[in-house]
């Protein structure tokens, strides 16, 4: 049996954490023994991964190199210059820390669960330890593109197998290179029951049986398009009186940025606010608050999909949207921004609708169209379900991943 060390960058529950949790459940335990290293440890993550009998080790000394749509440092913010400098000089420290943990744990292969684990990739390449680099994010070009070139060079040169969530991500990072394998996010279809009666789910959530229900899984985040979404549903109040919105909200909002932490305290003094603060004000507007049903964020959400007519994912940057494929597993159509990543998960007009990113009117019209035409929504949901079974089944994906591990472990050094 081969030991696999998964190094996880994320410090909270979300798409990356859920994907890893599902991998740990489904990985072939007769061939592989998993262990998780947490770069940003928390009691929540320990409990989450240990619930599937996988031990967790804290690795806070491993640094990350952030330059993706999820988070990056901007040239125009003076505070970010300090953060960028600190990040750049910490690469060597992260590489050394990774090798120290690997020497202690002696895994047969390491799975880096994000492109931001660049320091770990550099360290592992020096020891020739077999590893897989899972690129879950889309790149940011930045002002000059220097950081993108730095990461791209590593992806091109370091000796490892690279996994991408979509062909759009692969092209964005590596252009026309033949390197890398596209392995989309996956779902456990057995946990989703598209025939589940929505009535029971709505009763449990306190939603009127005859309501029109939209599910928004983005929390409060600029890259998920929270504010455009709130503005779009506000436009539908008179047109769709029984409109309800399900919004899972994480318990806390976190940021790696010093600038954001300072802004949260200072901007309100001058009558402004951070994105989170502005979105919260909109959500607390009485007209909006009457429509929105906030629920705690949970890793597996089939009940929320069962209670919904459709899901909205109006991202402002390229994404591979896990909620979109989970909606498909529940035979629910999705409305999303027409961006790389979502184009891979939605066939426009067949499994859902794509709208221009940031276009509030188009988003409102698309939601109105599917909410008021139940036959169209059902037809698209059925096609989405058929496609999810073909492309996103966890058992098929993990069979591929098992083979990749075996090939990398046995590859000549």
| Domain positions in the chain | 2-186+393-410, 189-391
Q: What is the rounded CA–CA span in Å between residue 109 and residue 361? A: 49
Residue 85: count of CB within 10 angstroms of its CB: 11
For residue 9, which of 125, 113, 139 has the smallest C-alpha distance? 113
Q: What is the DSSP letter of 190?
A: G
For residue 143, which of 64, 222, 77 has the smallest C-alpha distance? 77
Task: Tell me the angle at which helices 360-372 and 374-391 cross, rounded to the nearest 10 degrees.
Answer: 100
Q: What does CATH list as the number for 189-391?
A: 3.40.50.2000
Provide the whole-model pTM. Answer: 0.86
* Residues contacting 140, CB < 8 A, separation 6+: 67, 68, 69, 72, 147, 148
Sequence-ordered alpha helix ranges (H) in 158-285: 167-174, 198-205, 226-235, 258-266, 275-284
Specify the DSSP element, H or E, that contains 245.
strand 243-249
Q: What is the DSSP letter of 340?
A: T
User: Which own/partner pairs from 384-389 qualify as long-range (CB within 8 Å, at least 24 positions apart)?
Assistant: 384/327, 384/328, 384/331, 384/332, 384/333, 384/334, 384/346, 384/351, 384/352, 385/194, 385/328, 385/329, 385/330, 385/331, 387/328, 387/347, 387/351, 388/187, 388/189, 388/325, 388/328, 388/329, 389/189
For residue 186, which of 306, 326, 7 has the smallest C-alpha distance? 326
Q: 332 — phi, psi (to 5°)?
A: -115, 135
Q: What is the rounded CA–CA span in Å between residue 398 and residue 382? A: 25
CA angle 341, 344, 349 (to 5 degrees): 120
Q: What is the rounded CA–CA span in Å between residue 217 and residue 249? A: 8
Per-residue pLDDT tens, the chain, 413 aa: give them: 899 999 999 888 888 899 999 999 999 999 999 999 999 999 999 999 999 999 999 999 999 998 776 666 665 555 555 566 667 678 999 999 999 999 999 999 999 999 999 999 999 999 989 999 999 998 887 667 788 888 999 999 998 899 999 998 999 999 888 899 999 999 999 888 887 778 888 988 889 999 999 999 888 888 899 999 999 999 998 889 899 999 988 655 444 455 555 555 665 555 566 778 888 888 888 888 889 998 887 766 788 999 999 999 999 988 888 899 999 999 999 999 999 888 989 999 999 999 999 999 999 999 999 999 999 999 999 999 999 999 999 999 999 999 999 999 987 65
Q: What does CATH list as the number for 2-186+393-410?
A: 3.40.50.2000
2-186+393-410 and 189-391 have identical folds: yes
Is the CB of residue 52 less than 8 Å from the CB of residue 46? no
């Amino acid at each position: 049996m081969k030991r696999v060390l998964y190094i996880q960058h994320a410090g909270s529950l979300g798409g990356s954490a859920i994907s890893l949790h599902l991998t740990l459940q489904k990985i072939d335990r007769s061939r592989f023994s998993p262990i998780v290293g947490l770069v940003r440890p928390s009691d929540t993550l320990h409990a989450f991964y240990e619930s599937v009998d996988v031990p967790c080790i804290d690795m806070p000394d491993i640094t990350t190199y952030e330059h993706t749509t999820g988070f990056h440092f901007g040239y125009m913010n003076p505070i970010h210059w300090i953060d960028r400098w600190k990040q750049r000089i910490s690469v060597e420290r992260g590489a050394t820390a990774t090798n120290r943990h690997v020497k202690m744990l002696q895994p047969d292969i390491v799975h880096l669960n994000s492109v931001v684990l660049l320091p770990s990739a550099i360290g592992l390449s020096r020891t020739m330890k077999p590893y897989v680099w899972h690129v879950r994010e889309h790149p940011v070009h930045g002002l000059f593109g220097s950081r993108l070139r730095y990461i791209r060079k590593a992806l091109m040169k370091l000796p490892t197998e690279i996994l991408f969530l979509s062909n759009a991500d692969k092209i964005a990072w590596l252009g026309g290179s033949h390197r890398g394998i596209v392995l989309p996010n996956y779902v456990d279809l057995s946990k989703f029951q598209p025939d589940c009666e929505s009535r029971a789910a709505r009763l449990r959530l306190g939603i009127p049986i005859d309501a029109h229900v939209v599910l928004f899984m983005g929390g409060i985040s600029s890259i998920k398009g929270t504010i455009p979404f709130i503005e779009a549903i506000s436009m539908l109040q008179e047109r769709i009186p029984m409109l309800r919105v399900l919004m899972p909200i994480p318990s806390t909002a976190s940021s790696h940025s010093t600038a954001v932490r300072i802004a949260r305290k200072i901007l309100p003094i001058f009558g402004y606010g951070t994105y989170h603060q502005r979105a919260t004000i909109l959500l607390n507007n009485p007209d909006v608050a009457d429509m929105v049903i906030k629920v705690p964020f949970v890793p597996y959400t089939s009940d929320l999909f069962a209670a919904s007519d459709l899901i909205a994912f109006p991202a402002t940057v390229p994404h591979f949207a896990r909620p979109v494929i989970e909606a498909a597993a529940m035979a629910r159509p999705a409305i999303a921004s027409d961006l790389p990543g979502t184009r891979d998960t939605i066939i426009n007009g067949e499994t859902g609708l794509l709208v221009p990113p940031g276009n509030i009117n188009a988003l409102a019209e698309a939601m109105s169209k599917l909410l008021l035409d139940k036959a169209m929504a059902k037809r698209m949901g059925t096609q989405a379900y058929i496609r999810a079974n073909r492309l996103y089944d966890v058992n098929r994906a993990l069979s591929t991943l098992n083979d990749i591990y075996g090939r990398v472990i046995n590859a000549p050094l």
